[in-house]
Amino acid sequence: MYDFLIIGGGPAGAAAAVYAARKKLKTILITTEWGGQSVVSAGIENWIGDINISGFELAKKLENHVRAQEDIEIVMPDKVFKIEKSGENFKVSTEKGNSCETKTVLVASGARRKKLGVPGEKEFDGKGVAYCSTCDAPIFKNKDVAVIGGGNAGLEAVIDLFPYAKSIKLLEYGAALKGDPVTQDKVKASRKLEIIFNAETLEILGDKFVTGLRYKDRNTGEEKRLDLNGVFVEIGSVPNSDMVKGLVDTNKYGEIIINSKNARTSKIGIWAAGDVTDDPFKQNNISAGDAVKAALDAYSYLTLGDRPYNM
Q: Please pick, among 3, 50, 78, 136, the residue that the annotation labels catalytic.
A: 136
Q: In one letter, which amino acid is 6? A: I
- Convert 57-73 to b/e letters by CB count within 10 Å (16 or more is b): bbbebbbeebeebeebe
Strand partners, 214: 203, 225
Q: Please pick, among 3, 50, 125, 135, the residue that the annotation labels catalytic.
A: 135
**Residue 100 annotated as catalytic:** no
Q: In one letter, which amino acid is 249? A: D
Q: Please pick, among 3, 132, 275, 297, the residue that the annotation labels catalytic.
A: 132
DSSP 123: T
Selection from 258, 241, 247 nearest residue 293 by Cα: 258
Contacts 24+ apart (CB under 8 A), 44-50: 44/135, 44/284, 45/135, 45/138, 46/134, 46/135, 46/283, 46/284, 46/285, 47/284, 47/285, 48/285
Reply yes or no: is the peptide bond before residue 77 cis, omega within 30 of 0. Answer: yes
**Residue 132 annotated as catalytic:** yes
Task: Tell me which residues are annotated as active site.
Answer: 132, 135-136
